[in-house]
């Protein structure tokens, strides 16, 4: 399983990364592997405000549809429209392909998430 | 019989050159079987001949904007082509009338033919929903008695028969729960608690009814995690939706404590009746502490299921919720039946007329045929059959929750996984033995789950031959895993590319 430094992870297998003041959110390699081939990504409308833990998107694979929760509170400013036609990007390069980008309310919420080491241990227990 | 033919086909496929001709024949048959009616089309071939039109043709009847510019691209085939094509397709249906159908969580039980006989009696088929009450007393009596019988079975005060399916019943029940809280000035109860093992319809129905969904975890033995539940409930809890036995096929033994926790917080308990086939005549949701129940007549009460229905999802409620039931409610006084619309607190109508009356009628016939002892026997046999199969499979397959199950049980592929054999492969291989595979990849909380529900009507011989098929697949997975991974071999189409079908669906013929 691949993980990356500088990226934070949730217990629901989302990842979050800060760039130019925005929080980019995607799903982890563990998540894409568990879901199997992803066939559809439901993207929210930019401008939507979310609290940490609220549903930001839905990712559908041949096995199941899974809610994607926002790791931090904030307002969605961008969605990755490439996923509309090529949802399989999430399988191929889960860390290169974000789903939504949020303007965070409070960046310190990132501190509550797991780092690479903690997430690796967490997944080892789940598997 | 079908199983034997399939087995022979499989063997003949694998036995090398001598059988090559057979194999070609099978493949050719399959190709013909899979032919689309468009591929049978030949220019000028037709299934009718009409005389020339002998009245003047009136032009301009269809506004120009809606008139077709070129002929529709319909297949040109003869009547016998059409008859054979659709008869062939119909023959490829799989149903409980053709073979074993162990689809866990779905209760695909046999539909006794007497139900159909009763439902096709003239007095019922000729009745019209706009008839006055006096002339439809017999039909109203069926509805009233069904309410009484289902109330008795579930431990509820009254039952509405209007909801047209299980999920519709869920929506109705949740609307009743919402109306109850609002009537008490308790409008801040906006959350419905749902366990992580629940059917997907539960959170969907709760969201559709305007509630927020809060998930609670399962404990290691498969029941609701009590500590997690205590944290989840509060002054904003409208209710808890629970399936018991749950979707793991396990009876939640803490149900009384669960009910107490939810009631103490001011919430109500909703019983998802998907698994009622395990409990009839043995225990009742009302006695467990539930306030609202839905049943699926198309599961537990033997009316046809699958193929889109029609279904029926009656909802039962305890006394304090009766005022909120949808209208009309069938009442009876001095042997006269009538429809009560004068119910100020009702949530209103949830369905036109009186629900899927024909379905209710078939379920009524079933309950009256079985009687109380018969229904109890149904549940006892459903549970016994499931446990018998689970026991026979325990050496060949991983059983994630090793305790006595109810009417269904779960296997996983853990013993086959090291050879790269997935649950999907096992399910596909079962097709070669002539069986409909069990439910797979549900419940979501079990990795690579297979969920088997035999129902009560199956003989020991049927259970044994299905178990034998699974055991031989487990053996194959060990010795020749590739054979399982590439199954099926005897079906009209082999392994389909589900990913491609989902990503790039082709939904029409031609351009």
* Domains parsed from chain B with CATH numbers: 2-91 (no CATH), 132-371 (3.40.640.10), 372-503 (3.90.1150.10)
pLDDT at B463: 98
The pLDDT confidence band at residue B160, using thresholds 50, 70 and 90, is: very high
Has residue B5 got a pLDDT over 50? Answer: no
How much of chain B exceeds pLDDT 70, in percent? Answer: 95
Q: Confirm whether A2 is domain-assigned.
A: no
| Mean of the per-residue pLDDT values of chain B | 92
Q: Confirm whether A32 is domain-assigned.
A: yes
Q: Confirm whether A47 is domain-assigned.
A: yes
Q: pLDDT of B469-497, one tens digit each?
A: 999 999 999 999 999 999 999 888 889 88
Q: What are phi and psi of A104, to 5 degrees?
A: -75, 150
Mutate to test the interface with A, among B232, B445, B503 (most CBs of A within 10 A): B503
Q: Is any Cβ of chain B less than 8 angstroms from the Cβ of A63?
A: yes
Average pLDDT over residues B333-349: 97
pLDDT at B2: 43
Q: Is B127 exposed, middle or buried (0-12, 13-18, 19+ CB in 10 A)?
A: middle
| CA A45 to the chain's CA centroid | 16
Has residue A79 got a pLDDT over 80? Answer: yes
Has residue B378 got a pLDDT over 50? Answer: yes
How much of chain B exceeds pLDDT 90, in percent? Answer: 76
The pLDDT confidence band at residue B306, using thresholds 50, 70 and 90, is: confident
A39 closest CB neighbour out of B441, B444, B499: B499
Measured distance between the N- and C-terminal CA atoms of chain B, rounded to whole angstroms? 42
pLDDT at B14: 53
Higher pLDDT pick, B8 / B440:
B440
Q: Confirm whether A3 is domain-assigned.
A: no
Predicted ipTM beyond 0.85: no
User: How many domains is chain A built from?
Assistant: 1
Q: Confirm whether A115 is domain-assigned.
A: yes
Q: In B244-378, which ranges are E strands?
A: 268-272, 292-294, 315-317, 329-333, 336-340
pLDDT at B4: 46
Contacts of B284 (CB under 8 A, 6+ apart): B153, B154, B155
Q: Confirm whether A98 is domain-assigned.
A: yes
Picking from B271, B455, B484, the residue whose alpha carbon sits closest to that of residue B377 is: B455
Q: For residue B237, what is the enclosing H or E element?
A: strand B237-243
pLDDT at A65: 85
Q: Assign residue A52 the CATH number of its domain.
A: 2.40.50.100
Has residue B18 got a pLDDT over 80? Answer: no
Alpha carbons within 13 A on the beta-carbon side of B240: 31
Q: Count chain A–chain B contacts defined by CB atoms under 8 A.
A: 15
Q: Confirm whether A1 is domain-assigned.
A: no
Q: Confirm whether A83 is domain-assigned.
A: yes
pLDDT at A2: 62
Q: pLDDT of A88-118, one tens digit each?
A: 999 999 999 999 999 999 999 999 999 999 9
Residues of A in contact with B499 (CB under 8 A): 37, 39, 62
Do the Cβ atoms of A64 and A16 come closer than 8 Å?
A: no
What's the domain range around A24? 8-126
Has residue B243 got a pLDDT over 90? Answer: yes
The pLDDT confidence band at residue B107, using thresholds 50, 70 and 90, is: very high
Contact B499 A63 (CB under 8 A): no
């Amino acid at each position: 399983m691949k993980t990356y430094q500088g990226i934070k992870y949730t217990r629901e297998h989302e990842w979050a990364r800060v760039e130019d003041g925005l929080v980019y959110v995607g799903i982890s390699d563990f998540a894409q592997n568990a879901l199997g081939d992803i066939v559809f990504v439901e993207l929210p409308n930019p401008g939507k405000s979310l609290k940490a833990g609220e549903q930001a998107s839905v990712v559908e694979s041949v096995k199941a549809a899974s809610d994607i929760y926002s790791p931090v509170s904030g307002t969605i400013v961008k969605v990755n429209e490439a996923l509309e036609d090529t949802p399989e990007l999430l399988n191929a390069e889960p860390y290169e392909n974000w789903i939504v980008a949020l303007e965070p309310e409070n960046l310190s919420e990132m501190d509550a998430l797991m780092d690479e080491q903690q997430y690796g241990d967490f997944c080892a227990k789940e598997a | 019989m079908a199983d034997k033919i399939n087995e022979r086909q499989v063997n003949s496929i694998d036995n090398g050159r001598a059988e090559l001709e057979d194999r070609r024949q099978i493949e050719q048959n399959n190709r013909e079987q899979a032919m689309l009616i468009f591929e049978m089309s030949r220019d000028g071939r037709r299934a009718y001949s009409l005389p020339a039109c002998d009245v003047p043709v009136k032009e301009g009847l269809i506004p120009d904007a809606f008139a077709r510019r070129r002929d529709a691209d319909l297949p040109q085939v003869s009547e016998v082509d059409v008859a054979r094509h659709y008869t062939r397709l119909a023959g490829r249906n799989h149903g409980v009338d053709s073979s074993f159908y162990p689809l866990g969580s779905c209760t695909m039980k046999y539909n006794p033919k007497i139900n159909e006989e009763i439902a096709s009696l003239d007095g019922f088929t000729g009745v019209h929903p706009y008839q006055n009450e006096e002339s439809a007393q017999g039909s109203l009596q069926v509805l009233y008695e069904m309410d009484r019988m289902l109330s008795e079975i579930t431990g509820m005060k009254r039952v509405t028969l209007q909801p047209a399916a299980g999920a519709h019943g869920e929506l109705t029940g949740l609307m009743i729960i919402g109306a109850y809280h609002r009537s008490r000035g308790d409008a801040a109860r906006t959350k419905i608690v749902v366990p992580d093992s629940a059917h997907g319809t539960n959170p969907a129905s709760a969201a559709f009814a305007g509630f927020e969904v809060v998930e609670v975890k399962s404990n290691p033995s498969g029941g609701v995690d009590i500590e997690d539940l205590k944290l989840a409930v509060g002054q904003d809890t409208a209710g808890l939706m629970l399936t018991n036995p749950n979707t793991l096929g396990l009876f939640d033994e803490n149900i009384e404590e669960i009910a107490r926790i939810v009631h103490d917080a001011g919430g109500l308990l909703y019983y998802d009746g998907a698994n009622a086939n395990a409990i009839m005549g043995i225990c009742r949701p009302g006695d467990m502490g539930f306030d609202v129940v839905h049943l699926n007549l198309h599961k537990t009460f033997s009316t046809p299921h699958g193929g889109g229905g029609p279904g029926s999802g009656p909802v039962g409620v305890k006394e304090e919720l009766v005022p909120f039931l949808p209208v009309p409610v069938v009442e009876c006084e001095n042997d006269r039946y009538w429809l009560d619309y004068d119910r100020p607190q009702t949530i209103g109508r949830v369905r036109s007329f009186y629900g899927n009356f024909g379905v209710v009628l078939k379920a009524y016939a079933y309950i009256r045929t079985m009687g109380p002892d018969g229904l109890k026997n149904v549940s006892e046999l459903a549970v016994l059959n499931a446990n018998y199969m689970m026991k026979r499979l325990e050496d060949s397959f991983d059983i994630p929750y090793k305790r006595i199950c109810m009417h269904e049980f779960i296997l996983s592929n853990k013993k086959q996984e090291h050879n790269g054999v997935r649950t999907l492969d096992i399910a596909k291989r079962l097709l070669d033995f002539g069986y409909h595979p069990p439910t797979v990849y549900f419940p979501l909380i079990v990795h690579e789950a297979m969920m088997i529900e035999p129902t009560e009507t199956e003989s020991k011989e049927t259970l044994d031959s299905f178990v034998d098929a699974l055991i031989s697949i487990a053996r194959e997975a060990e010795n020749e895993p590739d054979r399982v991974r590439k199954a099926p071999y005897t079906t009209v189409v082999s392994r389909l590319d589900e990913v491609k079908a989902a990503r790039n669906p082709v939904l029409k013929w031609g351009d």
